[in-house]
Every structure is written in structure tokens, then in C-alpha cells.
Chain A
Amino acid sequence: MKNVNIRILICLLLVIVLFAGCTDANNKPADADPKQGTETPQEQPSGGTQYKKEIIIAMADEFTTIDPMETTAESNQIVQDCTHDLLTDTNLATMQNEGELVESWEMVAPDHWKFKLKENVKFHDGTILDVDDVIFTFERGEQKSTTSAYIAKIKEFIKIDDLNFEVKLNNGDVDFNYVFAANSLAILSKEAFESMPEEEAVKIGTGPWKFEKFVPGDYVSLVRFEECTLYDVPNTERLVFRMIPEASSRMIALENGEVDAIMSPSATDYNRLAESSNLKLITETGRGQHYIAFNLSNTDSIVSNPEFREAVAYAINKEEMVMAAWDGYAQVSTSIMCRDMEYYADIDGIPYDAEKAKDMFKELNAEGLTINLITSDAAHRVKMAENFQAQMSKYGINIKVEFMQQAALTERLESDKSVEMFALSWTPGKNADYMFRNPIHSAGGRNYAYINDPEIDALIDAAAGEVDKAKRADMYEELQVRLTTEIIPWVPIAQATLTMGADNDVTGLVLHPGLVHQFKTAQKIIN
């Protein structure tokens, strides 16, 4: 009997060894297709630089669709940015809105614009971009919830010729060119929709990458568009986005060489990446404004008192909070507006002054008060809230923190008028109006601080319609000063640093402040 058992155990061990032995000695799995190589150099004319054939990027969130109009999730838009293009987009070097498919535009009047498309831009199906594709895209966009609001701004669309068109708007908008930079308004090929099923036609764009394959929950792969006319043909042949939800698994895959870059590394890995000899940490200041906010409509609470809010603004040591919540990887904010935006004014804001805060709290009899703060259970928000709680306890104010899922937080902020304080962030779109329109304007859909100030509303509306840039700059500066130092619906804390980990030799990885990171030119020189 004992011999039988020993034999069974030996067989078990042999099976395990057999499995191990059958694996590749150099196990860098072909993630997408077993035929694909790993580090085989690209064939180049003799003497040319050699590039890695395939670049693999690990992302934390799932890619679900290549159709730009069916999603607002950054995980989808990051991939779509490689395959599709917009009429205009933000140039990340200058932070200005520039033409992507559009060569030039002219604002005849705030409600009348002229656009000219770039010539000879090829779609992946070989057809050439013209105004009919733009018309088709906009007509399709009318039916989609992600784009209908943008299309609804247009009163009349006038085709002049194959490359020129005009739009007349329902209301004047001096920043209308920014509307075309909405990721969901990527231009689609009319002819593709006429000749192919919809699920194939949505894959056709003008980007330097073509959609190849999608395995749900695992990866999406793109191949370079050899006939691309809008960009230089990429040196990399294949771009793969792998979905790896666990941060430590992403880091291991990078260290293992299974992937070439990872998005959203864990904060605990920052130093490891920065100090590694063959890896690097890429950083960029994000556009997300993280803040502690007050519910101004809660008149039963001391938070509706502007002096209390001012005292809190003096009380917060933002540097300390940045260290606690982001390990120092964030830039302290002095203004409610995000730094990289057009019309940002570098105002002084309210500095940290513990003594002044203490005196103000004493005058308000705030010591001994308990105030509720709600926020999401995201790691940085938890640390922000806990640090805020610790800081306020030094002034004798007890902050009771409640954590919840993001979805639940949004619902509470929308429906529970007894909310006193909350910690949140706002990542605006590309122009100054987006900074204020939704979270600050009384008619805004994300105005969770319930600011209801007609003067502020009037200033936001006036600035949005002001053609004179100097006057506009003054208006936005006034908005920043009033909101940051007088009304104080939020105490802006910091703009978190965006991070990415990558192999030292990989280039072309661009962190976008608006979170739609760019990988169009990702490549790795291997010789």
C-alpha cells in the first residue's frame, strides 16, 4: 500500500516537472497571436535603425468598444485615439487647440464658422476623407447620447465643396473649435458604412493604426496603417493593449519583459521604477483638480458660512496632504482652475496659515463641532480625507468621514441635501468654459456644491461669449479670484501627477492631462 502511494506521489512530481519543462525557456508569451514574435527586429534596409516589431501596453481598465460614439471611457478612447482622428485636438506641446483633420478654420462670427479639411487624408479602407464623411459622422452623432449635445449646437451645416464647410450655430460660441475635439466625435468613413456591416465600419478611421483583433477582457491589437497619409507610418508594426487590472501584476509583467509599458502604476512602485536601470517612470501633471468642497445650500450647517470656508482654506496644509495622498506626486493648487488650461491666472489664492485659521475658528465658535465629509473609496481620496480629518482635529474640529463607491457618492451628492462637505475631483475638457460650466454654474450638471450666484453665472456666460482675448482673460481671472478667495465652494488641493511605467528604451508614450494618453508613435529601438 505504501509503495502505491509513493508511486502516485512520484507520478505527480513527474507531471509537474513535465509541464515546467514544456514551457519556453525564454518565456515571453506571444500575448496576442502565437505566430507573433517578441523581440525580432524589423527588416530594415541595411544600416537602418531596428525597431521592436510589437509594443505591448498594459492598461488597468477594460477596453470594450472601438466605436468612438458608444463610449466616454478613457480606456476605450486611448485605443480609439490610435485608430481615429478628430477635426481638432489639443497639441500637448503647446496646449493649444489645433487642427487634426482640419487644416484651418475661421470664426466669421461667434455663431458662424468656416472649416477647411486637410487634403488627401486616407481612411483605412483606402477612401479619401471629404466633407461628406463629416456630415455622415454628425448625422450619426445626432442619435448617440455621447455626441448629440455637441451636434445640437449646430443650427445649419453647409457643404461648400469636398474640403470646405461652414457651420451656423444656435448660440454664439467663441470656443466652438474645441467642440470638435470631443473624443466621441472622431470622424468615420461614410463609404465604409455603406459597404460594410456597422460593426466593421466603425473600425475604419484615419489614424496611423488599424484595428486588428479584440479578445474581450484580454487584449486589443492594432497593426500599422502602411498607407497612412496624415502621419508618418509608425516604425512599430503592432501595438497591443493588454488589460491587466491588478497593479502588482502589471508591474511584474513590465519587470518580466512581457509588456513594454504600464498605465497607472501603483504609488508603491514609483521609486522602484524611477531607480531601476532598465525601467523608467514617466510623469505629467494631470488636469484633474482635486478639492475639498462644501455644500453651500445646507443652511443648517456652518459650511454655508463663507467665513468658515475661508478659515478651512487657511487651515489646510496642502503640502502635507499631497505627501499623504499622492506620496508627493501632485502639484499643489493655488487656484480653482487647472494650471495647463488657457486663461489660467497664477493667482495667490489662500495660503496655509494655521494661526489665522485658529483665530477664525475661535471667532466662529467652531471648536468642538462635528462636520460630516463624504467621499469615494478610491485610495487617494481615502488618504486625502483622513489627512484632512487629522489636520482639522488640531483646530478642535471633528471631521466624520464616510467612504462609499463612486456611483453611490454621485447619487448622494445629487440627492442628499444634508451633505456638508465632500472630497472630489474635476477633470475639465479642453477649454476654459468647461472648467466652470458644469461644476460651478447654477445650471451645471455637476454643481454639487450648489453654488447659486447670479453674478458668477453671468461672468461664466459672458466669458464664454467674449471675443476679445484680453477681456476674456480678465474675466477668467476675476472668476478664479472670486471663487478661490471669496465664495470658496471648493478648497483646491492639488493636481495629481499622472504616471506611467515603461522600459527605458521605449519612446513615444505621451501622458495626456485629460487622461486620453497617446501611443500613436510608441516604439523601441533595439539596434
Chain B
Amino acid sequence: MIRYILKRFLMMLPVLLAVSFVVYFLMDLAPGDIVSMMAPQDATEAEIEMMREEMGLGGTLPQRYLRYMVNLLKGDLGDSLSMKRPVKDVFFERFPATLKLAFASIIVAMIISIPLGIAAATNHRSWLDGASMITAMLGLSMPSFWLGLLLIILFSLKLGWFPSGGSSGITSIILPAITLGAGQAGNLTRITRSSMLEVIRQDYLRTARAKGVSENKVIYKHALKNALIPIITIFGSTLGNALGGAVAIETVFSWPGVGRLTVSAINTRDMTLATGCIIMFTIFLTLTMLIVDIAYAYADPRIKAQYSK
């Protein structure tokens, strides 16, 4: 198992190299120049060139990329060109907010999707099954920014129950978590339902029922455990994406996460900040998938045995 984990860590390095290469060169290819955007309107050509040198944007693209990679290998993501501060500091100032929102939305998604998926599977082809699937499709289809604004209008403006945005206090996370969680719940519900449907038809469950095991135990101890693998996979990728920051949600709810930060960095052509944020996102996504793979081992002992080979 340890060997497997180490192997996965080593595999992360070429992934990070590839991501940094693609992002760095794409940012450079994108039209526009951060210096022109940041320079005062009345700056002359000479002043703009001075700014360019000050920001370390002198030299050819390969030279700049090499400088960047040498620093990256030392763990230095460089300084944000627009904020003049280390990218790591800027990223980790905002990351806790993204982490909070990601986990809160996953909790909301699980609270909705697991019971709904199980209810749909155990009442297959009934009105409950139909209602669950319609709910899931609604969650999947509704644009998140639209849902967010609707929730703000209802719960914040009309009812005054929650704040319309910001990140102060426990109440401010509820609406963004529900908005983000609703979209995630749609997918999770469908996966839970189909995974449970496959499992509840298995013979061993019929045997368990015949032995007199209670229905609750049949579903939650025997069936759900065996249906977990696909659910864990979707959970992992959902969490990984949420850690990258949900830009629309963060914008609508003024949530100070890394999604907004990354988009802002791209729009202002802040190459180091944009590249740094995307690299960090890649690291967290890869780590999340590693955790998912480890979770498989505990959900299914047969997989643990494979890791040990």
C-alpha cells in the first residue's frame, strides 16, 4: 500500500510539469499584456518597458519559462505580477474559503443524494423513483448562478434568513453550499441509484433477508457498502472540482475563494498567479484522487489486495 502511494506521488511530477507547460505557454499566447493593463494611462513607452523589467517579463518566453520552472522545483511559485506578493501566500489566503465551501457543498450533496438515491433504488419504478430522478435532473440542469440568485432573492431579500453574500459567520455559507451542492447532488443521486440497483438484485441480499436480517441492515450494511465504489469515484472528482473553486458561485455570493482569484488572474494576464493557482489545483485534485483510491481499499478488500501486489 505504501509503495502504491509513493508511486502515485511520483506520477504527480510529470503531470505538474505538463500542466505548468501548457498553462504558461497558453497564457503567453493569449492576446494582451499585464503591463499595458497595469501601467497608468499616461505612462510612456519607456515607463512601460521599465515595468516589464521590474515584473521579470524581460527575455524570451523559453528563458522566462526556464526561470519559472527552476523556482517551481524549489517550491517557489513566484510573485503575483498584479499583487506583488508571493503566489503561495495569495493562494493560501483564499484557499480556506474554497475548502470550507467545497466540504459544505459535498455534505449538502450527500445529505440530498444518498437518501434520495437509496429511496429511488429501493422503490424502483414507483412515484418516489420518478420524483427522485426529476429532482436529480433539476439539480443537474439548473444553471448554478441562476439558482444562486433565486435563493438570494427568496432567502435573503424576501425572508431575511441568510446574508446575500460574503464569508462572515456560519450563515453565510449556507446558500452557496446549497447552490453548489444541488448541482453535485444531481449527479450523485443518479450514480447512487444505479449503483444500488445493481447491488440490491444480488443473491446474497436475498439470502440475508431470508435469514431474517432487518431491511435497514440489508440496505445500509450490506447493499450500500458494496455500492460505494462508483459513489466514492464521483464523490472524489466532485470534491476535486469543488476545490478548484466554483467561479459562478463565488461571484454571485461574493465568496472569496480561489475560483474567482484564478479567473481574475487570467483576465488580468497575471501569468504567475494564474499558473500558480492552476498548479495548486492540479496538486489538490491529484491528492483527492489518491485519497479516493485509498478509500477504495477500505470499501473493497479485494482492491486493497491488488495495491499490495
Q: A residues near B, CB below 8 A?
A: 1-2, 4-5, 8-9, 12, 15, 19-20, 22-34, 62, 64-65, 70, 72-73, 145-146, 148-149, 182, 184, 215-219, 242-246, 248-249, 252-253, 255-256, 258, 404-412, 414, 426-429, 434, 437-438, 443-446
Contacts and interface: CB of A to CB of B under 8 A. Distances in A.
Interface string B20-54: 00000000001111101111111111011011001
Interface string B78-111: 0000111000001001100100000000000001
Given A5-B119, A427-B41, A217 B94 contact: yes
A412 B164 contact: no
B41 A218 contact: no
Contacts of A1: 122-123, 215, 219
B157 A252 contact: yes
A217 B84 contact: no
A217 B40 contact: no
A60 to B, nearest CB: 10
A256 B90 contact: no
A33 B166 CA distance: 12
Contacts of A426: 41
A410 B269 CA distance: 12
Contacts of A32: 168
B54 to A, nearest CB: 5
A474 B43 CA distance: 27
Contact of B115 (A8, A145, A148): A8
A410 B38 CA distance: 12
A411 B123 contact: no
A255 B157 contact: yes
B157 A216 contact: no
Interface of B: 30-34, 36-45, 47-48, 50-51, 54, 82-84, 90, 93-94, 97, 111-112, 115, 118-119, 122-123, 128, 149, 152-153, 156-157, 160-169, 171-172, 174, 215-216, 219, 251-257, 260-261, 264, 267-269
Given A145-B51, A405-B31, A445-B39, 9 more contacts: A5-B118, A5-B128, A20-B161, A145-B54, A242-B254, A243-B254, A249-B165, A410-B32, A434-B42
Given A27-B162, A72-B39, A443-B44, A256 B156 contact: yes
Among B36, B90, B163, B164, find the residue whose CB has the most chain A CB atoms closer than 10 A. Answer: B164
A405 B34 CA distance: 12
B171 A29 contact: yes
A2 B169 CA distance: 38
A249 B84 contact: no
A515 to B, nearest CB: 11
A258 B161 CA distance: 12
B177 to A, nearest CB: 10
A25 B50 CA distance: 55
Given A23-B162, A216-B94, A407-B269, A29 B168 contact: yes
A445 to B, nearest CB: 5
30 contacts: A5-B123, A23-B161, A23-B162, A23-B171, A25-B160, A27-B162, A28-B163, A29-B163, A29-B166, A31-B168, A65-B83, A72-B38, A73-B38, A148-B47, A217-B97, A245-B251, A246-B251, A252-B157, A253-B165, A256-B164, A406-B32, A407-B33, A407-B267, A407-B269, A408-B30, A410-B36, A445-B39, A445-B45, A445-B48, A446-B42
B166 A219 contact: yes
B40 A72 contact: yes
Contacts of B169: 29-30, 34
Contacts, number: 187
B171 to A, nearest CB: 5
B163 to A, nearest CB: 4
Main secondary structure of the interface of B (DSSP, over half): helix
Contacts of A5: 115, 118-119, 122-123, 128
Given A34-B169, A245-B260, A411-B36, A26 B216 contact: no
Given A29-B168, A258-B163, A445 B42 contact: yes
Contact of B149 (A62, A248, A414): A248
B32 A246 contact: no
A21 to B, nearest CB: 9
B88 to A, nearest CB: 13
Among B118, B161, B166, B269, find the residue whose CB has the most chain A CB atoms closer than 10 A. Answer: B166
Given A1-B219, A410-B32, A427-B41, A12 B115 contact: yes
A438 B42 contact: yes
A406 B168 contact: no
Contacts of B123: 1-2, 5
A145 B50 contact: yes
A398 to B, nearest CB: 25
Given A149-B47, A255-B157, A215 B167 contact: yes
A143 to B, nearest CB: 9
Contact of B36 (A70, A405, A414): A414
Contacts of A404: 31
Contacts of A9: 115, 119
A252 B33 contact: no
B164 A408 contact: no
Contact of B42 (A19, A31, A414, A437): A437
B171 A410 contact: no
Contacts of B93: 216-217
Contacts of B163: 27-29, 31, 258
Given A34-B168, A146-B40, A243 B30 contact: no
A168 B50 CA distance: 24
Contact of A258 (B111, B164, B253): B164
B42 A216 contact: no
B32 A438 contact: no
A527 B259 CA distance: 43
B43 A244 contact: no
B149 to A, nearest CB: 6
B82 A64 contact: yes
Contacts of A31: 163, 166, 168
